[in-house]
Structure 1
Amino acid sequence: MIFHPTNLHNTLEKSAKIYIAGHRGMVGSAIHRKLTAEGFNNFVFRTSSELDLRDQASVKDFFETERPEYVFLAAAKVGGIMANNIYRAEFLFDNLQIQNNVIDSAYRVNVKKLLFLGSSCIYPKLAPQPLHEDSLLTGTLEPTNEPYAIAKIAGIKMCEAYRSQYGCDFISVMPTNLYGPNDNYDLNKSHVLPAMIRKFHEAKEENKPVVELWGTGSPLREFLHADDLADACYFLMQNYSEPGFLNVGVGSDVTIKELAELIQETVGYKGNVHWNTDKPDGTPRKLMDVSKLHALGWKHKTDLTEGIRITYQDFLQKIEAYSV
């Protein structure tokens, strides 16, 4: 039997019980900050050591006990080019398990609304730019992050399927490249922007004459501050209840070389940059078409230069944890 959504366009009540999966990560913590600033205080949290989201029985028990009304699914196994390429099986298995367990358990306890966070890597490597939502599944994925992308595509389709069959108000958003407080600065697992912050900072502290960066510096990338994504998620939880997923981004991009120059200036490193062209560039360009989101009335607020400054300050506060 096919059911149709009956509880769409839920308005988040200030007293609502909210579960943020991945609340200690960059995205989850940003969502928590946003909701707290808006006056919400009825949160339920579990750290990964308290609740393994890959474990179906544990997740089922958690949902049946806590019965949250709204869910932000920001938990995922994430990383940059190196981590995505090395830990291919883990990225596919872990992310599928997390999504399957949380989405299905949310349905079974009648969660009012769930927001699933994906990634811009779901798009084909050579999809037309800027990347429009209609480009999903129209071509071959970027090989280095294919397992992660396939997991995220499955999450989108799972939300759509549960909406279609069971009438669940489950929505999906696909953010572009993210950065901000609580980012991962581990050079083996981090994304390009936090990795550059750490590399330039350490080179400055150690008076190194040269910093080596991967690739040619020519790929174009778009960067969205995590607090802007959190603002968009809050906006969409109140204003969007459609089957199709939405891109979340800024609508403009910079080359990796331009990004490096911005970070170098922010950090204050005076040395030179060597581009190691034996290392991969990844996708040549990845700019999101955010016209659908703009049409709903939301736009980002944080300028990239200011965002990098804020993020560098966050790194400086965490530097002891990353010191060798």
Structure 2
Amino acid sequence: MQRTFHEFYGYRVACTAPAEAQPVVQRLFGAQPIVDPHLPWPGTDTVHLSFEVTGDSHAPVPPPYFPPHWEKLDEIVLDTGSSTAVVCLADRAVRVQLARSDLDNPIVWGRWLVEKAFLVLTLRSDRHYGLHAGALSLNSRAALVTADSGVGKSTFTAWGLFQGATLIGEDAMMRHIDDPEGRFWGYPRCSYLDPALVKSRPELTDAVSAMVPAREKCRLEWPPSFESRLLTAVRPQALLVLTRAHQEIRSVGIDAVIELCRSDFTAGKLDADARDRAEDDLRTRLGSMDLLEFGLAPDLDTNYTRLAATLRA
């Protein structure tokens, strides 16, 4: 068994895995582990992630987005029928039993198990919360990007990366309330994109991707050529709410943004004090941002030009 340290959504991760699971660890975290186990920031939580490889050969099936009663249980089991992850809240531990047949299946160990496990840890914590959002940085300024499902948030953030922006995340951004820098943390190593978009980009010819069952998206692992423009944390200066209802850029009030995001930052929090703490922190963060409703044009290059102009303002 090999033990290495990594960062995932702003958590310090102490990862233990056998040799045959090391390729999975590298694909999840990147080739270079954290040398200093005290990173990524003083006071951050350490999550103990362990992998065990089993001989189970059942075909994996899409699990529910969240398992039943996940917001009440002390241990949450994520089960794909072939592999499982047990999230133990008290121990800050994620124990993955990965079927040997799933070792090369990033939908199982990525989307359904590890990514979901860290989302569960965040949403169940009274010192953390998440937003259904991505983030881009351009011109030394960064924006959170949120939208209803299907509007085009993933395409918008990916196109920004294609055009030279830095990608911080594309679907979930996590906030550690005790982080003194006021940052939001993402997982930019992969994106969930329309396969047609992936096929249209020559720089993605050799990129590793896998279709998500029952979804019209694939999980794309960004190739090494994008490595220098993948960043895991940012302190945003703006929040963009993407819409197709119009093609204008309009100011949005902070109360409207809070209501838009309420189901995100309160998810998993049954305690009223925890919900209030998350809302207070988000209000503080939003108070220093430009809050904009960003109407999407049909042309992706036009949207990027308008994004660049917005972040220069």
Assess same fold via TM > 0.5: no
- Answer 1 or 2: which has greater strand percent: 2
TM-score of the pair, normalised by structure 1: 0.28
- Answer 1 or 2: which has greater helix percent: 1
Greater relative contact order (Cα < 8 A, sep 6+): 1
